[in-house]
Structures are given as C-alpha cells and as structure tokens.
C-alpha cells in the first residue's frame, strides 16, 4: 500500500472534521459578543459627537466676528519695530 492511498491521516495533518469556531455564541452567531458591545459603544460615541457639534455650532452663531482693527495693528507693528531696534543697538 502506498502512502497516498492510505486512509489514515499523517500525524501532523488536521482532522477532516472541522472544529467549532471559538467565537460562535450559543445562538449560533459567528460575531462575538464583544463586537456587539463595540457597535453599541460606537453608536453612543457618534450620538455624543453629534450633540457636541450641534452645541458648538449654535455657540458659533451667537458669537460675533471681531472687526479688524488696522490702527491697532499699525501701533503694534511700530512698537515691535522700535523694540527690535533698541535691542539690536544694545547688542553692538
């Protein structure tokens, strides 16, 4: 008898009967319970994010845009220019 025609499986080969999957629940679902919990958690997180976005968007509508103050910008620019030259002259 040749090894290929033998009915016995080699010692290292898997048995022809499939073992049950480790993540099969009692109801026969192949999805683990942890996944269901994560899905529920993800739904809760998404709901919280929607609520935060609504809250923040309503606050943004209430806030006024500040007006650009060119005069203040010019004053600050002049102050920085003066200070920079004072510092440079003290380094000489």
Distance CA 7, CA 81 (A): 94
pLDDT, average across residues 24-50: 78
Distance CA 58, CA 51 (A): 11
Mean pLDDT of all residues in the chain?
Answer: 75
Tell me the domain boundaries of the chain. Answer: 28-62
What does each C-alpha distance from 65 to 47, 61, 68 come to in angstroms? 29, 10, 9
pLDDT at residue 26 tops 80 = no
- What pLDDT is stored for residue 75 in this prediction? 93
pLDDT at residue 12 tops 80 = no
- Of 36-45, 46-55, 61-70, least confident by mean pLDDT is 61-70
Beta carbons within 8 Å of 33's beta carbon, 6+ residues apart: 25
Q: Is residue 25 a contact partner of residue 32, using CB atoms and an 8 Å limit?
A: yes
């Amino acid at each position: 008898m040749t090894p290929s025609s033998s009915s016995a499986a080699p010692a290292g080969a898997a048995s022809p009967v499939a073992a049950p999957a480790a993540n099969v629940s009692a109801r026969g679902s192949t999805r683990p319970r942890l996944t269901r919990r994560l899905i529920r958690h993800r739904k809760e997180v998404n709901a919280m994010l929607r609520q935060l976005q609504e809250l923040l968007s309503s606050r943004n509508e209430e806030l006024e845009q500040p007006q650009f103050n060119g005069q203040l910008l010019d004053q600050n620019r002049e102050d920085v220019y003066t200070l920079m030259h004072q510092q440079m002259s003290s380094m000489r």
